Homo-oligomer: A and B are copies of this chain.
Amino acid sequence: MRLVDNPDANYYAYPLDLCAEVSEQLQVTKVYQLPSSANDRTHDTPQPYDYHKIQSPAASEYHPSLRPPPRTTTKPYQVVQPEGPSFETHGNRLTWEKWSMRVGFNYREGLTLHDIRYDGRSLFYRLSLAEMFVPYGDPRSPYPRKAAFDLGNDGAGINANNLRLGCDCLGVIKYFDGWHNTGAGEPLKLPNVICCHEQDDGILWKHTNFRTQNAAVTRARVLVLQTIITVSNYEYIFAFYFGQDASIHYEVRATGILSTCPINVGDQVPYGTVVGPGVLAPYHQHLFCLRMDPALDGPKNSLQVEESVPMPVGDPAVHNPFGVGYTTTRNIILQEQGLDLDFAKNRTFKIINEEQINPVTGTPVGFKLLPYYSQMLLAHPESNHAKRSEFAKHAVWVTRYQDDELFPSGRHTMQSAGGEGIASVIEQRQKGPPAQSSVRNEDIVVWHTFGSTHNPRIEDWPVMPCEKMSVGLKPLNFFTGNPGLDVALSTQETNRSVLSASPPSGCCKS
């Protein structure tokens, strides 16, 4: 079926129209033909199937060896750090600006971060991507089996790319290696699985005093820890960004190649996009779960939900004569549970330490979550997908810390028939004494589920430009002022920008 004789041809552009079932004894037990249209089902015998007749190989290839020469308009762009990077590493301990942390790596989660501090103050005990689930929305057999736990089934560590200088990061790069083991128990080095570098991030803060016309402007530098995994067709780029303003951002970029299946030429289905003649890219979701184990000024923290609400009008007990007043409601979560986002109420999830009161604001010190607003799991609550991916039901979960409770779909996702996820664990613990599942002023863990309902575009084909998703954590009355206030002003002496030498202006000149 493959029309291009090149090992780097795009396999997903030429989907086979058959499927083989293999037994545990590695015997082929059944071969059948895949459905060819919305109304078609699997067949035991071949049907007339015309999709392969009119493939257009060039449009479906991404590898440069199979493509016309690339554009030449993109001029080189280099990052120069004449005095070296601003970070230092000692083994896996990393320090940068006022941050310190330890960088971890394992087979399943890949990159993990530990004991994250700012200016010596404890912020997070551990940050990690805990799971991701990719269920497909094509209802026809055998596709309801397409539903990957890319961490639990595959492993973000073992699938991490060996990153290359000048390709995956720009500037002055520090690589971290990972370690795994061979089948024989020997240590196995996974080289360059994490890259660490700095980026300029535009302006950090600026103010011009309009009375004196004096401007003060600082540029933002960020520290990036990035790892990239290949899971069959897809690539995921996972990166933590640390800011001089004490913010943390976790970014996921989805790239790589769509997982496809065959379709009759000219047909359409309501649960997929035709990306090439005879090639269907079915709708699917990418649902990630970021695990945040906070330790804001110590291990005992609480989760507070704040909403911004209009003050009532016409209530004699409330002074709001012009109807413009608004206040915040604050609710501390008492028991383990899953919670939903609501931007219409400016619902804000704050991790706070109730025992540490900010000396200026008079409120508990905290960090707020900047969530990534996303649709939760679309599969029916009684489906296998839903039973196996309980974390995909709510955007925010809070649990009491338990040793080894790292995975919101349980430890063994491949064999899971459901009932092992975060909701089941919470339900189980709620049967015990209330103190057991209390999350107020305790050692808590906060989990954020986010992702994308990925209804493919033709622009995602034959290789997908990165789709970015970003989650943030920002101090909220944790410090006593802007943590980046002491960043030096931006100067041309240091930054050495250059005026563009454009062609002469004016339409009249040729």
Contact = CB atoms under 8 A, between A and B. Distances in A.
B86 A170 contact: no
Contacts of A46: none
Contacts of A505: 89-91
Contacts of A67: 485-486
A191 interface: no
Interface in A358-389: 358, 360-362, 373-376, 378-380, 382-386
B491 A362 contact: no
B253 A230 contact: no
A208 interface: yes
A223 to B, nearest CB: 11
Contacts of A82: 76, 78
Contacts of A98: 71
A68 B486 contact: yes
A33 interface: no
A489 interface: yes
A67 B207 CA distance: 15
Main secondary structure of the interface of A (DSSP, over half): loop
A459 B482 contact: yes
A205 to B, nearest CB: 5
A273 B275 CA distance: 52
Interface residues of A, number: 185
A140 B170 CA distance: 52
Copies in the complex: 2
Contact of A216 (B63, B139, B465): B63
A327 B488 CA distance: 53
Contact of A166 (B204, B461, B492, B503): B492
Interface stretch (A18-26, A122-130, A340-348, A402-410): A340-348
A167 to B, nearest CB: 4
A216 B71 CA distance: 15
A83 B76 CA distance: 7
A225 to B, nearest CB: 13
Contact of A459 (B206, B216, B328, B476): B476
A55 interface: no
B210 A230 contact: yes
Contacts of A460: 482
Contacts of A247: 465
A205 B70 contact: no
A492 to B, nearest CB: 3
Interface string A71-91: 111111111111111111111
Nearest to A79: B79
B256 A487 contact: no
Nearest to A276: B360
A384 B72 CA distance: 56
A345 B196 CA distance: 37
B200 A79 contact: yes
